[in-house]
Amino acid sequence: MKKYMLFGGVMCAMLGLSSCDESFNDWAAPSVNDPEAALAAYGIDVTGSGIEVNMNDAERPDSIRLTSLSSTNEEVVSLEYDKVTINGCKIPYVIKGKDVYVGTYAIDSLARLSLQSQKYETRELTVSVDAHAKLKSGSSVAFTKEVIQKETPIETPAVDPNGYYLLGQVNGNEWNPEEPVWFAKVADGIYEVTVTTENEKENWYKFYGGTDAGKDWDSANAHQMGCDVNGDGSLFNYLNWSANLQTPVINGKGKWKVRLDVNNWTYTINEVKPDLFLTGSNYGWGDKWLHLVPFHSSEEDFWTIIYLHEGEQFKFAPQADWGGDFGYTGTTINDEAGANITSSSDGNLVVGKAGWYLLKVQNGSTKALTVLQPNVYLIGDAAGEWNIADSHKFTVPTTEDGVFESPAFAADAELRMCVSVDGFEWWQSEFMVFDGKIEYRGRGIDQNRVNVKAGQKVTLNFTAGTGEIK
C-alpha cells in the first residue's frame, strides 16, 4: 500500500499539469500518409491493458501497463511513443520499452476530470496512442490507435431520502446545526439553494445529508460532505465524503446559487447578480414582468426604453415576482423628461404624460428613478466618430409600435449603438441587433460585431424587441 500511495501521489501531482485541450505542438511529426494504413503495412499492434481498474478493490494494482506496442515486420527497427491521452486529456505516464505505465489513482483522477463525474459505475475511457515506427530505411512512419480502458470509481454514498442542507457562514447560519439551510430538490438527484454571504473574503461551509437534521453536531457530522482541499473556493468541485474531507469556501460577499448534484457527486457555485423587473397596470400586475438592463460594471443601476401610457401605474421588483417591490413611496424621483410621475393612493408610480422614455433605476440602499428622454445613439466608426453627438441620434417615434431610426452610416464599419446616461460610459449601455432581435450587453463581455455598409440605417422596435439593418 505504501508503494501505491507513493506512485499515486506522484501521478496526482503530475495530473495537475495535465490538460484536456492541449495542442501538443512540441511533439515530433514523422512522415505519414495514412495512420491506419501504417498499422497494417508494418504489422503494428497497439494493445490495451485488458485490466478493469476498480478503485474499491483492495487488491487493485499500484499501476498498470496501459498500452503496449509491437510489430511483426522486419523493416521496423523500433516503436516510439509520441503522445498518450485518456479521453483527450494528456496524462502522466512512464515509458518502459514499448509499454506505457500509469498509476491507477491517476486513471481514476483523470476519469473524474474528463467526465466531471464521480458516479459509481464502470466507465469506458478512450486511450489514444500517437506513436511512430522507425524503419531500416532511416525513415519513420506515424500511426494512431485507440483502445478502451475500463475504470470504476470509489462507491458513492446512498442518496439521502431526506434531502440535503448547508451549515456554515451562509444565510447567517454561523454553524448552527439546529437551523439547517435546506436545499430544494429541482430534479432527480439535483438540489439547489440560494444563499447570501457577508464576509469579504472566505465564507466557510459544508454539505450535510438530511437524515437526523436539526439536532446536534454528532447527528450532523455523521452525514457531512466537503471537498478535497481545505479552503477550496472552486466554483465547480467534487464532493468528498471520506474521513479526511475538508471544508470549502465561497469567496466574497454576495448572493449565490449553490447546486448539488448527487448523480455525479459534484457541486457548483454561481453568483447571483442583482436584477430588476417592472410590472404594473399595463402588465396585469404581475402577469408579465419587463426585464430591465443592468449597466455594465454596476450592481445596482438598470435602464430600459419604454412607452408609458397616460394614467399607467407601475413599480419595480428585484425578481420577476412580488417581494422587495418598490414604487413611488421611498423612491427618489428625478423626472427630466416631463412624464409627470406622481403617486397613487397606495404608493405606485403613476404616469401623467404618455410617450417614450428612458428609465434609469437605482436599486441599492438608495431607491431612485430618473426619467430621461429616450435618446439612442450610433457611436464608433459607423457613426464617423467615437463621441456621443446629436448628429448620431436616432429619431423617436410617436406611437407605441413605432420604430427608432438611425442616421445613415458614415462608413463601412462595425455597428455600435448605445443610450447615454450621465455617470456611465457608452459601452456600459450598448446593445446590438442579431438575427432581427435586439440583444443587450448588460454585464456581459463585448458582444459580437455586425458589419454594416455606408448609407445603410438601423431601425429598432423596442416594444417588440426587434431591429433591422437596411
Q: pLDDT at position 23, please?
A: 35
Q: Measured between alpha carbons, how far is 219 from 419 in angstroms, rounded to an integer?
A: 57
Helix-strand-coil percent breakdown of the chain, rounded to 5? 10, 40, 50
Instruction: Give the mean pLDDT per block of 10 residues along the chain (470 residues).
Output: 35 44 37 66 93 95 96 94 94 94 95 96 96 93 95 97 98 97 97 96 97 96 97 97 97 95 98 94 97 96 98 97 95 98 97 98 96 98 96 97 98 97 97 97 94 98 97
Instruction: Please say which residue of 94, 127, 152 terminates a domain.
Output: 152
What DSSP line would sit under 248-292, residue for residue? -EEESSEEEEEEEETTTTEEEEEE-----EEEEGGGTTTTS-EEP
Q: Residue 250: which domain range?
A: 164-271
Asked if 197 and 112 sit in the same domain, the reply is no
Q: pLDDT at position 41, please?
A: 86
* Residue 461: all three cell numbers together: 422596435
Q: pLDDT at position 18, please?
A: 46
Instruction: Please say which residue of 237, 254, 271 terminates a domain.
Output: 271
Q: Is 392 among the domain residues?
A: yes
How many structural domains are present in the chain? 4
Asked if 196 and 261 sit in the same domain, the reply is yes
Q: pLDDT at position 38, please?
A: 76
User: Which residues have a Cβ under 8 Å from the Cβ of 13 and sit 6 or more positions away?
Assistant: none
Q: Is 88 among the domain residues?
A: yes
CB 225 within 8 A of CB 239: yes
Q: What are phi and psi of 216, to 5 degrees?
A: -135, 180
Asked if 90 and 232 sit in the same domain, the reply is no
Q: Is 358 among the domain residues?
A: yes
CB 152 within 8 A of CB 52: yes
Q: pLDDT at position 17, please?
A: 37
Q: Measured between alpha carbons, how far is 211 from 112 in angstroms, rounded to an integer?
A: 27
Query: How many CB atoms lie under 10 A from the CB of residue 359?
Result: 24
Q: Is 427 among the domain residues?
A: yes
Asked if 128 and 223 sit in the same domain, the reply is no
Q: Is 158 among the domain residues?
A: no
Burial class (CB in 10 A: 0-12, 13-18, 19+), 130: middle
Asked if 142 and 185 sit in the same domain, the reply is no
Q: Measured between alpha carbons, how far is 167 from 164 in angstroms, rounded to an integer?
A: 10
**Which CATH number do you get for residue 20?**
2.60.40.3640
Q: Is 157 among the domain residues?
A: no
Helix (H) or strand (E) holding 41: helix 35-41
Scanning the structure block, which residue is given the C-alpha cell 413611488? 328
Q: pLDDT at position 452, please?
A: 97
Asked if 90 and 197 sit in the same domain, the reply is no
CB 103 within 8 A of CB 62: yes
Asked if 179 and 128 sit in the same domain, the reply is no
Q: pLDDT at position 20, please?
A: 62
**Which CATH number do you get for residue 423?**
2.60.40.3610
Scanning the structure block, which residue is given the C-alpha cell 429616450? 374
Residue (of 142, 181, 183, 163) closest to 223 by Cα position: 163
Q: Is 29 among the domain residues?
A: yes
Asked if 43 and 67 sit in the same domain, the reply is yes
Instruction: Please say which residue of 216, 247, 271 terminates a domain.
Output: 271
Q: Is 144 among the domain residues?
A: yes
User: Which residues have a Cβ under 8 Å from the Cβ of 403 and sit 6 or more positions away?
Assistant: 397, 459, 460, 461
**Strand 301-308's sheet: what is its strand order?**
293-294, 301-308, 355-363, 367-372, 332-335
Asked if 26 and 140 sit in the same domain, the reply is yes
* Residue 191: all three cell numbers together: 438540489
Asked if 19 and 143 sit in the same domain, the reply is yes
CB 275 within 8 A of CB 317: no
Q: pLDDT at position 37, please?
A: 74
Asked if 102 and 10 sit in the same domain, the reply is yes
**Which CATH number do you get for residue 267?**
2.60.40.3620
Q: Measured between alpha carbons, how far is 83 from 91 in angstroms, rounded to an integer?
A: 9
Q: Measured between alpha carbons, how far is 336 from 329 in angstroms, rounded to an integer?
A: 19
Residue (of 354, 342, 347) closest to 397 by Cα position: 354
Q: pLDDT at position 35, please?
A: 62
User: Which residues have a Cβ under 8 Å from the Cβ of 116 and sit 6 or more positions away?
Assistant: 236, 264, 266
Q: Measured between alpha carbons, how far is 443 from 274 in angstroms, rounded to an integer?
A: 11
Q: What b/e string do you get for 404-438 counting C-beta neighbours within 10 Å, with b at 16 or more?
A: bebbebbeebebbbbbbbeebebebbbbbbeeeeb
Asked if 148 and 9 sit in the same domain, the reply is yes
Q: What's the pTM? A: 0.69
